[in-house]
Chains A and B, each alone.
Chain A
Amino acid sequence: AQSVTQLGSHVSVSEGALVLLRCNYSSSVPPYLFWYVQYPNQGLQLLLKYTSAATLVKGINGFEAEFKKSETSFHLTKPSAHMSDAAEYFCAVTGGFKTIFGAGTRLFVKA
């Protein structure tokens, strides 16, 4: 069975500050992990994905995530937040044909 836990339903940062969104997973098989972003009134779009090629994964818009098997984590980071990063972020795990999403973390960016 697979599951995803996103710590913090809301995260608020100042513009220019570090963004850290936490994701922990459980999986009985080697996981494929994803981060998606959802802007208001839109569908989800892929930020980045982990497919076992490299533990540090770089995505779009300056985001990156590090896969840590020992901690079963896949936290999303960005060194410097921008106002346009305000959105909801979802961590997801895929194994076989099913996908499990976390509950989401809404990121607020203060000017």
Chain B
Amino acid sequence: EAQVTQNPRYLITVTGKKLTVTCSQNMNHEYMSWYRQDPGLGLRQIYYSMNVEVTDKGDVPEGYKVSRKEKRNFPLILESPSPNQTSLYFCASSPGQGRSSYNEQFFGPGTRLTVL
């Protein structure tokens, strides 16, 4: 089944404790992206990746890191989480952006993160 998977689905942690949220897609998509969803703000793009080893900042990158060493995986890293990073996080993938930005994105099920 074609899908985007995220782990963990739920996470409660404490301020300053490094964490990684994994994202994997099995559709051979070039483009992957991370979003956070907060009430009243919709989804805001954190980082995106156009292909392996190519990443760039979205609108809210502060406090986050990403890497794209393999096409299928795009982990989101919070080196020192703070309470204002409590949110619902979504990973998404797409066949391609830029030259084909008309392609829709396929979303994972979400990761609900609470930072105490």
Contact = CB atoms under 8 A, between A and B. Distances in A.
Nearest to A52: B102
Q: Interface residues of A: mostly helix, strand, loop or mixed?
A: strand
Of A94, A95, A96, the most chain B CB neighbours within 10 A belong to: A94
B40 A98 contact: no
Interface in A33-72: 34, 36, 41-46, 49, 51-52
Nearest to A51: B102
A58 B105 CA distance: 18
Contact of B42 (A32, A95, A103): A103
B101 A32 contact: yes
Interface residues of B, number: 27
A74 to B, nearest CB: 14
Interface string A76-111: 000000000000001010111111111110000000
A94 B101 contact: yes
22 contacts: A6-B42, A34-B104, A41-B110, A43-B90, A43-B107, A43-B108, A44-B90, A44-B107, A46-B105, A49-B104, A51-B102, A90-B43, A94-B97, A96-B97, A96-B98, A97-B56, A97-B97, A98-B45, A99-B33, A99-B105, A101-B43, A103-B41
